[in-house]
Structure 1
Amino acid sequence: MASAPVQRSDDLQIVDDKSPDDSFIEDAKQREIQALDDDPVFSRPEQRKIIHRIDRRLITTTGAMYCVSLMDRTNLPNAAIAGMNVELDLNVGFRYSTIALVFFITYTLFQPPATLLCRKIGPRPFLAGICLAWGLVMIGFGFPQDWVVMLPLRLLLGVFEAGFFPGCVYLISTYYSRYDMQKRYAVFYMIGSLASACSGILAYGIQQMHGLAGYWGWRWIFIIEGVVTCVIAFIGFIFLVGFPDQLAKKKSWPPFLNSEEIAFVIRRINKDRSDADAEEWNFKKWASSGKDPKVWAFALVFFCLTTMAYAISYFLPIILRENMGFSIAESQCLAAPPYAFAGIVMICIAWVGDKYHIRGPLLAGNAVLGLIGLPIMGFASQAGVRYFGVFLICASCNSSIPTAMAYQANNIRGHWKRAFCSATLVGFGGIGGVAGSLIFRSQDSPHYRPGIYAGMACNGLIITIVVVNSLYFRRENRKADKEGKVLEGNPSFRYTI
């Protein structure tokens, strides 16, 4: 009779390596995913069709509008090297940096009330209306004869753009479960990043209109891009949709989802985190969200990311021109490939994040990538090697932005807390824009060493915050599993690490 096979000791170690608590948590996660896909009305293939229909309507429309939003706020460097600095004497002192940063004063201050207005008025009229308004302001940028006139225009641009990004983040979060979210944020942000990738090439083409009607080429950059924004605003008004709970009460036009499909979206969100239905407005409850320390931790991570993202966005063509010695045409066109690379990295990271339910480790990994890229751009001797560093920096900060958005959205509950957190997240992003417009100073040209050091400090801070958050989330999840502690007001809620 054959004897039973003997199990090796190292096999036994592998089996025993996972604690009963870890196995329980993993089993609970699997049950949660299966329960989310079990619907009394629609089969799983039908559910995916509905979700993909939401993708095509919501993500495509908001992404196209964000594309012009990002293009309009970051086209200063293209205009600068196309003649704006010369005609308006912006090379004197801090004039260029001042014009870049004043945008973020109103952009930051108006975000909390703008997010509330988006909820009260509705996404369609609000988001399309402010898009039209800043498009008209962009057209106005084509006519100043004195650099001082640019300041109130940039302030107005900040007022109108303030509500767009947090409004979109908030709107998207109401349609998707926590682990469907990062891929959607990534596609939304990637469409916007195409603006950064293509704006230089577009600006180079538009500036060939130099002399038409007596205007410099840089003026036509603002005028043409402003007209495009106004057109996108009208398209957005047609295709934007309301919040799910609003659509449950009133149908949208053009047709979007029928009543059964909207009910499915609400059921799915309630299964995931029990906050599909809007709460009654309560200022005290909204403001009390600020007592949660992790809200500010998420905001600080976003500040660090946008500091680098805006710094690169505002100064990359100038750095390519002055630091690496490329021509004007080369500088505008070579700004595109790093953003295309960042888009590829962004989608890959989003897929990994949603599949394996992780956020923090991805943020930390990207921060390490930034810590590698910044010294390469700052200290390498050859221009080609420094340009390679730009690829790493762009991938690091830009691919982390949708990850940070999902990191925050996955770890909070409640409509008004979500609105508060969207505003604080993007508000700190605006403050990062102020910092980003200052860290690469004209007097530091051509090496920009202080900016390199500031960027490295930002990445180090991101890693620190993620480590602290991860330890805290893991501890709280264990308390919820072992002791029955209720997290975020929902017994089934668990933090995403």
Structure 2
Amino acid sequence: MLASNRLQGFTQRELEIVLDRIDRDRRDSKPDKLTWPKFLHHVANWELWVFGFMFLTCSAPIYAFAYFIQIILGTIVDTTALVFLLCAPPYLVSIFWTVLCAYLADRIRLRMPWMLMNAAVTFAGLLIVAYSKNSGARYFGVFLGVSGCNANLPTIIAFQSNNVRSDSRRTVANGVQFVFAALGGISASTTFMQKEYPTYRTDVWW
């Protein structure tokens, strides 16, 4: 209702200015209904699959940490109570890191550098967890891994949305992206194998 009232409060001239800015920015101010021919055209676009793969590389470690953080921490500390206590801090830190990355990306109007940096942070964290012998260092690796992949989630979504024009193409792109997100969750659920305790190195390289 509030949005409708605000829209009604615009003059015709103001609406024309808004639509003109959208057209100059991405040329899709007019509604673009999705049809089967458009779907087939868009789904054959290789760029949408690249966006989807980018989301897969982000969603897989997110799901991996969500599913197995207790198992990872169980290789660092001895008691179940302490394992559960140590689960929360990495996610609390990731909240602040995610907000900071989003703020800075908006300020400089670039997302790719942040995506690359967070991917590197995630990978570094996973390597530390897999290869370090020091318990404190491995726990620090969990902080890096959780923060990097969680910060990349909204960054990649925004990057895709900002680089896809027309409503129909964006609809298909979102569908492809969420399919890859599901694939990331499925793959992450199978990579931590008990026979690789305590390093689980297959998951790192997967």
Q: TM-score range by the shorter chain?
A: 0.7 to 0.9
Distance 2:9 2:203 in 1: 50
Find 2:8's aligned residue among 226, 235, 260: 260
Distance 2:156 2:146 in 1: 15
1:420 to 2:172 alignment: yes
Deviation, 1:272, is: 3.3
Please tell me whether the aligned partners of residues 287 and 420 of structure 1 are also in contact (alpha carbons under 8 angstroms): no
Find 1:429's aligned residue among 181, 194, 206: 181
Q: Which residue of 1 aligns with 2:121?
A: 369
1:397 to 2:149 alignment: yes
Please tell me whether the aligned partners of residues 23 and 29 of structure 2 are also in contact (alpha carbons under 8 angstroms): yes
Please tell me whether the aligned partners of residues 33 and 167 of structure 2 are also in contact (alpha carbons under 8 angstroms): no
Find 1:302's aligned residue among 55, 60, 66: 55
Deviation, 1:391, is: 0.4
Q: Which residue of 2 aligns with 1:325?
A: 77
Per-residue displacement from partner, 1:174-213 (whole Å, max 9, x unpaired)?
xxxxxxxxxxxxxxxxxxxxxxxxxxxxxxxxxxxxxxxx
* Structure exhibiting the larger radius of gyration computed from Cα positions: 1
Find 2:26's aligned residue among 253, 273, 276: 273
Per-residue displacement from partner, 1:272-312 (whole Å, max 9, x unpaired)?
32324422341111221122211111111111111111001
Distance 2:132 2:67 in 1: 22
Distance 2:177 2:50 in 1: 9
Please tell me whether the aligned partners of residues 309 and 398 of structure 1 are also in contact (alpha carbons under 8 angstroms): yes
Residue correspondences, number: 200
Please tell me whether the aligned partners of residues 115 and 155 of structure 2 are also in contact (alpha carbons under 8 angstroms): yes
Distance 2:4 2:82 in 1: 47
Deviation, 1:434, is: 0.8
Q: Which residue of 2 aligns with 1:12?
A: none
Please tell me whether the aligned partners of residues 376 and 385 of structure 1 are also in contact (alpha carbons under 8 angstroms): yes
1:285 to 2:38 alignment: yes
Please tell me whether the aligned partners of residues 129 and 199 of structure 2 are also in contact (alpha carbons under 8 angstroms): no
Distance 1:262 1:439 in 2: 54
TM-score, scaled to structure 2? 0.88
Q: Which residue of 2 aligns with 1:313?
A: 66
Structure 2: where are the runs of 5+ without partners?
none
Q: Which residue of 2 aligns with 1:351?
A: 103
Deviation, 1:270, is: 4.4
- The amino acid that maps onto 1:284 is P
Alignment of 1:237-256 (within 5 A): 252=1, 255-256=2-3
Distance 1:369 1:301 in 2: 15
Distance 2:78 2:178 in 1: 34
1:382 to 2:134 alignment: yes
Deviation, 1:269, is: 4.0
For residue 342 of structure 1, give the secondary structure of its aligned residue in structure 2.
helix
For residue 412 of structure 1, give the secondary structure of its aligned residue in structure 2.
coil
Per-residue displacement from partner, 1:104-139 (whole Å, max 9, x unpaired)?
xxxxxxxxxxxxxxxxxxxxxxxxxxxxxxxxxxxx
- The amino acid that maps onto 2:8 is E
Please tell me whether the aligned partners of residues 303 and 432 of structure 1 are also in contact (alpha carbons under 8 angstroms): yes
For residue 32 of structure 2, give the secondary structure of its aligned residue in structure 1.
coil
Please tell me whether the aligned partners of residues 164 and 170 of structure 2 are also in contact (alpha carbons under 8 angstroms): yes
For residue 278 of structure 1, give the secondary structure of its aligned residue in structure 2.
coil
Please tell me whether the aligned partners of residues 52 and 178 of structure 2 are also in contact (alpha carbons under 8 angstroms): yes
Alignment of 1:2-151 (within 5 A): none
For residue 190 of structure 2, give the secondary structure of its aligned residue in structure 1.
helix
- The amino acid that maps onto 1:429 is A
For residue 325 of structure 1, give the secondary structure of its aligned residue in structure 2.
coil
- The amino acid that maps onto 1:260 is Q
TM-score, scaled to structure 1? 0.38
For residue 439 of structure 1, give the secondary structure of its aligned residue in structure 2.
coil
Q: Which residue of 2 aligns with 1:445?
A: 197
Aligned Cα root-mean-square deviation (Å): 2.1
Label 1:388 to 1:261 Cα distance change in 2 as closer, same or farther (>3 A).
farther
Distance 1:315 1:262 in 2: 51
Label 1:337 to 1:261 Cα distance change in 2 as closer, same or farther (>3 A).
farther
Distance 2:51 2:143 in 1: 25
Q: Which residue of 2 aligns with 1:411?
A: 163
Alignment of 1:165-180 (within 5 A): none
Please tell me whether the aligned partners of residues 315 and 440 of structure 1 are also in contact (alpha carbons under 8 angstroms): yes
Distance 1:434 1:340 in 2: 25
- The amino acid that maps onto 1:342 is S
Alignment of 1:149-168 (within 5 A): none
For residue 438 of structure 1, give the secondary structure of its aligned residue in structure 2.
coil
Structure 1: where are the runs of 5+ without partners?
1-251, 455-497
Label 1:270 to 1:328 Cα distance change in 2 as closer, same or farther (>3 A).
farther
Q: Which residue of 2 aligns with 1:494?
A: none
For residue 303 of structure 1, give the secondary structure of its aligned residue in structure 2.
helix
